[in-house]
Structure 1
Amino acid sequence: RTVTLYAPASGIVLEKKVMQGQAITAGEELYTIADLSDVWVDAPLREADAGVVATGTSAILDFNSYPGHPFSGRVSYVYPTLGEQSRTVRARITVPNPNRLLKPGMYATVRLNTSAQSALAVPQSAVVQTGDRAIVFIDVGSGRLVPRAVTVGRSGSDYVEVLTGLKGGDRVVTSAQFLIDSESNLGEAMGAMSGMGTSPQGKK
């Protein structure tokens, strides 16, 4: 006797788990079906950026399979947990897929359109990470530098937001890496942070 079984929803068969003529039991999973009219993209957000992304944030996605053909989507869910190792928060982006061009497993570059906010920022090259602290060096004139601990926030390709530790108008060393080219330079500069005075400007 032939029995016709109907799927609870329409969609595309992603996985077939039985063969014709195979005996099955009640509750056994036969096929994996997905509705691909909309697809979900999981995007990792840096911890510092998670606070500016919310449900409804618009996104532009560039899929590796379709160069020069950007897709639009919106954040539909922001996961409530932070990855302990990656220090990222996942955001789910829903992308309309009317022509079924997008397939499960594809990779994309995501650009999120967050609302513009004024912020104090410095070049990433100006920030020196020392253990769990971020340091920038202030040029106070006469060839003297003063190290300043800062709290950093969001970052882009070239700049990083400074939440505390600086004020508008401060002159910072934009290429602080030269200070850690030798242990003596770094030690001399960091001595000022311990109340030993200011450090002479190093050789660039």
Structure 2
Amino acid sequence: MVKLSLPRIGPMIRPKGTLNMRQFSLKLAVAGLAGSLVLAGCGGGSTPSGSLAETSCVQPWSWANGSGLGNQSFSAKSITPSAEVNWTLQNCNLKQLNSVQLTVCIQHADTNELNLKLYRGTELTPLTLPKLNQASPSGSCGTGSSGTPWTYTIANTGFNSTNTSQQWRLVILDETNNNTTGFFDGWSFSLKGLN
């Protein structure tokens, strides 16, 4: 009688680099978790927030010399060699500042002598506006003003968009400071942006 010897059946050997089902499931779970963290870090995993609404903050027409001590105290300021006003836009907290509009009312025979600088809060670098003779008169002045209105609309201000309710300051400087007398009657100001 012939005896047949059968090969011994032992544990199955997988080729190197292959995974069993448990290892595959674990790797898939880890990859999914890593992908979720990446999306959350980029904002992709969050629920979209509501869109921002367009809004404006306005400083209405104001006399440059308005001390509030009676009708006689509301008047123009002499530009000799400069005139300055300050104001604060209360409760103006724009999340994104899109544009600034400034109207100044000035009486001056030689507007190319005048330099206008707009400061915001504690920022040391002003927004220098073009000389009046490089702009076209537009806008309106308050009742009783005999100045010419000049309106500047600035789309890219370079100002940080936060804390728009800080104090603003406008300086009008007569760079020549000769015998030409000028007067700064008043101004109006508005910010447009998203909130």
TM-score by length of 2: 0.31
When Rg is computed on C-alpha atoms for both structures, the one with the higher figure is 2
TM-score by length of 1: 0.30
